[in-house]
Structure 1
Amino acid sequence: MKTAIILGAGFGGLALAIRLQSAGIATTIVEARDRPGGRAYAWRRDGYVFDAGPTVITDPDCLRELWALSGSEMAHDVELLPIHPFYRLHWSDGATFDYSNDDAQLRAEIARFEPADVEGYQRFMRYADKVYQAGYVELAARPFLSLLDMVRATPALARRRAWRSVYAAVSADIRNDRLRQAFSFHTLLVGGNPMKTSSIYALIHSLEKRGGVWFARGGTNALVDAMVRLFERLGGKLLLSDPVEQIEFEGRAVTGVSTRSGTSLRADIVASNGDLLQSYRLVKGSRYAARKVRRLSRRSFSPSLFVVHFGLRGNFPGIAHHSILFSDRYGPLLDDIYKHGKVADDPALYLHHPSATDASLAPPGCSTFYALAPVPNLAKADPDWESFGARYRETILGRIRDMLIPDLDARLETVFHYTPMDFQHDLAAHLGNAFSLEPLLTQSAYFRGHNRDDHFSNLYFVGAGTHPGAGIPGVVASAKATASLVLEATR
């Protein structure tokens, strides 16, 4: 029986492990942290459950497919709950916009801002459906190992004018400034600047409309645990709290890994769900790997995040499960994050309120929240996060107090925050990035991390740094692409 080792138990690593184990490849996952999940880690404090993220689940069919490989059903391990509205958008003057896949309701919401944009939205969605077909259905799970693969895909991308930004594509059909924000912010949830990220990412709208937006009962961590249970039922092994310190190789093949505890594991296949640079740093003694590290270090990496987790006394039925709190500056704020390396005093926030859907995530009569602000990565802005973090936490809580919860301070029971330094320390994320490589057209498909290494014939990669990119559907699709390469090579 063929054997495989996977570094990292994030969504990508777990999805790949399930695919390999289902195909009869004896697979072991080695995870550095004390629980699985990677960026989908979780904390339990003072009776509250806090997911680290991601919290927006789309395309549940891509997850159900993992269970179907062995003839089982996802519903036996985890329950997905529909979210409505998908997002509630807020501006500082009190204006709101509910975004959902209820066509009549959504048209009415658009008409409140600009009646003419109802027709414009329909044109935009026709475009989103086309890029969904080209960019997700046809290309998301296809590995891009050569320029020829890219050349074959180029006509489809060119027909959809992929060189335009998402914001430009939205603006071509929608005239109201706030509606342009409402239909372009999604790329921020996968690390992309709406003003620069390829309009192919407009497919997110079609993805959400077709499959809905969901949340796992018990939190995203419950979905992670369900994937682990499936993997272990199939016979897979998960090793926790033991970071890999070296990927070993002989010639042009990797042979296994050695861990901090002194454990040495050998396998026919090694795959990494970790940070791309860190993964190549683990191939110690290889001049090829050292060159890869230097090349990758010159690429553009996504911003980081500053996240405040907090629990409040009381319930808040007027606050949606997912909220976006816009700054009064849209384009200039994006420039601060992506160009100028400035940590903004007026951040835009994604506010997650999971107890709105699942009350078990907070003590009785209480509510669980986290607020996420995109911030520059450590190459562009590197304040002393240990001291600055406490001050910035107050900036973020102040924004929520001013816009949504005036008596927040009196209700606050527990609070902690997570900074770019924590991304770097806990996840070995280069420069504290939150989404790996920035999703630019010049860093997509063939120009993103390859699912199989170009030099080591049995070294594979999965996750946000590979094609197609970040987000749960993206990393699960990357696992499908990587698994196809592994199975082809082991037939």
Structure 2
Amino acid sequence: MLTRFDPAFLSDSGASPRAHAVVIGAGLGGLASAMRLGAMGYRVTVLDRLDVPGGRGSAVVKGGHRFDLGPTIVTVPQVFRELWAACGRQFEDDVDLRPLDPFYEIRWPDGSCFTMRQDRSEMEAEVARLSPGDVDGYRKFLAGAETRYWFGFEDLGRRSMHRLGDLVRVLPTFAKLRADRSVHGYAARCVKDERLRMALSFHPLFIGGDPFHVTSMYALVSHLEAEFGVHYAMGGVSAMAQAMVRVIEEQGGRVRQEVEVDEIRVADGRARGVTLTGGEVIPANIVVSNADAGHTYDRLLRGHKRRRWTGARLKRSRWSMGLFVWYFGTRGTREKWSDVGHHTILNGPRYRGLVKDIFLKGRLAKDMSLYVHRPSVTDPSVAPDGGDTFYALSPVPHLGHDEPVDWNKMAETYRARVQSVLERDLLPGLGEHLTESLVYTPETFRDRYLSPHGSGFSIEPRILQSAWFRPHNISEEAEGLFLVGAGTHPGAGLPGVIGSAEVLAQLVPLPQTLVQS
């Protein structure tokens, strides 16, 4: 039975109707957008197919262990403070953010390690310990990272890049900063030690990029860490998502879980609302999609002729890698493995070769590098008394290559490999303490998050897939349609998806103009 949206929801008691905004997806980009739209005066409805808010930043609980499913590192906390301030609130009143020291430790197979901290003198001492001749080059790298931060994050990242003229005006700066050079290429020009080159160039992997091909503009992440630190939200990123929902609801908005948008309704060239998979029609003055940009254009606009983001163009796009994530709990280990901190990066024997297998060849290698998250050293609430909660993340090929991995057959085999590496290099005796276990593969990302090819971070942030070349925040396919989240400008990562909502607020019309028209 077709059920239409109740128009009474669009108005306050006794007041004239307010412009209605529908936000597709309760990921952090969608929730941040709903907060900003609510602050502008829109009545907002957020629609999400999962049973909890947060999208990839949600969590599941098994056997007393809370597993944060996605992002674990919070950088640039001021973007959250600015978001809350735009809603007339204080971020610290709703979220307990803890600075981490150290940020993380990087380990190599030869037994060497590198500890990342915020203090500049301590970092220079760490560089000197690893490679004495590279201290000056490290300073040069950080200076360039800061320059790229002011241009790439504070300038380009905080405004829309949907007009070709926006790109033309910044081309001289791109040329001056050698944006054509990769992050690894930039690091290699500054330092000579291969381990240090890895430590300064791997950050694009956190947003789905190949360090050997992603533009050197992303070296700005090193400045973000050095300037603003690395933080953890007590309760996990999922607690931040819950706090965002509370703000939306207190603004008069509504967040509906376990409902899936089937199609964006377009009439006379304008987005008019959405249709849910159950047939319910929800009209709206504007539609904001936090769904993956590929899913938005290929699926949600499938009945509408597209000019720019056609199916053929999406097939030609390069997508970020897939992710294999093993979430596991242990008992009686809180005091065990005392040398293992909140974040650890375990390098395999190869860097360039492994990245090439993942991004270019689409081949599941026998060796691996792992990002290991142990939040229980900071937040004991994530695990039962005396226990630990972990996740180990391995970058793997996405499902769009010619011979994709069949994870129905390979998941347990690969999980066992991950466990073997952890027992050998980081967590000896792990198997004796295991309790809970949960595995996410690229197939999970495809099915749970509707991510094209099961990619972990949407479209890869190469130079010709960034800024103007990336799906725009204001869609050219239908008036009144806007995009936020990892697949649009400015890109993936918590600062990027929160920033996309800031850009959205600059683009949407004032709600009273829509009602008057």
The answer to whether 1:350 aligns with 2:361 is no
**8 Å Cα contact 1:304-1:434 kept in structure 2:** yes
Equivalence for 2:349 = 328
Distance 1:490 1:193 in 2: 44
Residue 64 (structure 2) aligned to one of 34, 47, 56: 47
Distance 2:173 2:501 in 1: 23
Structure 1, unpaired ranges of 5+ = none
**8 Å Cα contact 1:40-1:52 kept in structure 2:** yes
SS at match of 1:58: coil
Distance 1:273 1:283 in 2: 14
Equivalence for 1:274 = 291
Equivalence for 1:25 = 42
Residue 100 (structure 2) aligned to one of 69, 83, 88: 83
Moved more, 480-489 or 246-255: 480-489
Deviation at 1:231, TM superposition (A): 1.3
Equivalence for 1:367 = 388
The answer to whether 1:205 aligns with 2:222 is yes
Residue 286 (structure 1) aligned to one of 304, 311, 314: 304
Deviation at 1:288, TM superposition (A): 2.1
Distance 1:489 1:240 in 2: 25
Distance 1:223 1:72 in 2: 14
Deviation at 1:406, TM superposition (A): 1.3
**8 Å Cα contact 1:166-1:194 kept in structure 2:** yes
Deviation at 1:283, TM superposition (A): 2.1
**Amino acid paired to 1:344:** A
The answer to whether 1:244 aligns with 2:261 is yes
Aligned positions, number = 491
Runs of 4+ in structure 1 deviating by more than 6 angstroms, as ranges, are none
Equivalence for 1:437 = 459
**8 Å Cα contact 1:303-1:338 kept in structure 2:** yes
**8 Å Cα contact 1:134-1:157 kept in structure 2:** no
SS at match of 2:421: helix
SS at match of 1:140: helix
Equivalence for 1:264 = 281
SS at match of 2:306: helix
Equivalence for 1:390 = 412
**8 Å Cα contact 2:40-2:511 kept in structure 1:** no
**1:261/1:19 Cα in 2 relative to 1: closer, same or farther (>3 Å)?**
same
Residue 239 (structure 2) aligned to one of 211, 214, 222: 222
SS at match of 1:437: coil
Deviation at 1:387, TM superposition (A): 2.0
SS at match of 1:343: coil
**8 Å Cα contact 1:94-1:403 kept in structure 2:** no
Equivalence for 2:8 = none
Deviation at 1:182, TM superposition (A): 0.7
Deviation at 1:291, TM superposition (A): 6.2
Deviation at 1:277, TM superposition (A): 2.2
Equivalence for 1:312 = 330
Equivalence for 2:7 = none
Alignment of 1:46-125 (within 5 A): 46-125=63-142
Deviation at 1:249, TM superposition (A): 1.2
Deviation at 1:261, TM superposition (A): 3.0
Equivalence for 2:4 = none
Equivalence for 2:25 = 8
**1:271/1:158 Cα in 2 relative to 1: closer, same or farther (>3 Å)?**
same
Equivalence for 1:148 = 165
**Amino acid paired to 1:484:** Q
**8 Å Cα contact 1:389-1:419 kept in structure 2:** yes
**Amino acid paired to 2:357:** D
Distance 2:201 2:512 in 1: 42
The answer to whether 1:468 aligns with 2:486 is no
TM-score by length of 1: 0.98
Deviation at 1:297, TM superposition (A): 2.0
Distance 1:489 1:228 in 2: 21
**8 Å Cα contact 1:164-1:198 kept in structure 2:** yes
TM-score by length of 2: 0.93
For residues 43-77 of structure 1, the C-alpha deviation after alignment (integer angstroms, 9 at most, x for no partner) is 10000000111111100000111111122111111
For residues 435-481 of structure 1, the C-alpha deviation after alignment (integer angstroms, 9 at most, x for no partner) is 01011000010100110111311011001111111000011111111
**8 Å Cα contact 2:308-2:477 kept in structure 1:** no
Residue 446 (structure 1) aligned to one of 468, 474, 483: 468
Distance 1:259 1:107 in 2: 55
Residue 479 (structure 1) aligned to one of 501, 509, 513: 501
SS at match of 1:287: coil
**Amino acid paired to 2:312:** R
**8 Å Cα contact 1:423-1:434 kept in structure 2:** yes
**1:196/1:284 Cα in 2 relative to 1: closer, same or farther (>3 Å)?**
closer
**8 Å Cα contact 1:277-1:297 kept in structure 2:** no
For residues 339-379 of structure 1, the C-alpha deviation after alignment (integer angstroms, 9 at most, x for no partner) is 11111211111101111110110000000100001111101
Equivalence for 2:317 = 299
Deviation at 1:118, TM superposition (A): 1.1
Deviation at 1:488, TM superposition (A): 6.1
Equivalence for 2:183 = 166
Deviation at 1:489, TM superposition (A): 8.6
Deviation at 1:93, TM superposition (A): 2.4
**Amino acid paired to 1:329:** R
**Amino acid paired to 2:135:** V
Distance 1:289 1:152 in 2: 24
The answer to whether 1:190 aligns with 2:207 is yes
SS at match of 2:60: strand
**8 Å Cα contact 2:445-2:454 kept in structure 1:** yes
Equivalence for 1:178 = 195
**Amino acid paired to 2:143:** R
Distance 1:145 1:290 in 2: 12
**1:149/1:489 Cα in 2 relative to 1: closer, same or farther (>3 Å)?**
farther
For residues 138-171 of structure 1, the C-alpha deviation after alignment (integer angstroms, 9 at most, x for no partner) is 1102111121111112122221111110001111
**8 Å Cα contact 1:88-1:98 kept in structure 2:** yes
User: How big is the alpha-carbon RMSD for the aligned residues of Structure 1 and Structure 2?
Assistant: 1.3
For residues 409-428 of structure 1, the C-alpha deviation after alignment (integer angstroms, 9 at most, x for no partner) is 00111111100000100111
Deviation at 1:290, TM superposition (A): 9.9
Deviation at 1:227, TM superposition (A): 1.0
**8 Å Cα contact 1:246-1:258 kept in structure 2:** yes
**1:187/1:290 Cα in 2 relative to 1: closer, same or farther (>3 Å)?**
closer
Deviation at 1:94, TM superposition (A): 1.9
Structure 2, unpaired ranges of 5+ = 1-17
**Amino acid paired to 1:443:** Q
**8 Å Cα contact 2:208-2:456 kept in structure 1:** yes
**8 Å Cα contact 1:39-1:54 kept in structure 2:** yes
For residues 229-275 of structure 1, the C-alpha deviation after alignment (integer angstroms, 9 at most, x for no partner) is 11111111101101011111112001111112332110100010001
**1:489/1:161 Cα in 2 relative to 1: closer, same or farther (>3 Å)?**
farther
Deviation at 1:490, TM superposition (A): 6.5
Equivalence for 2:450 = 428
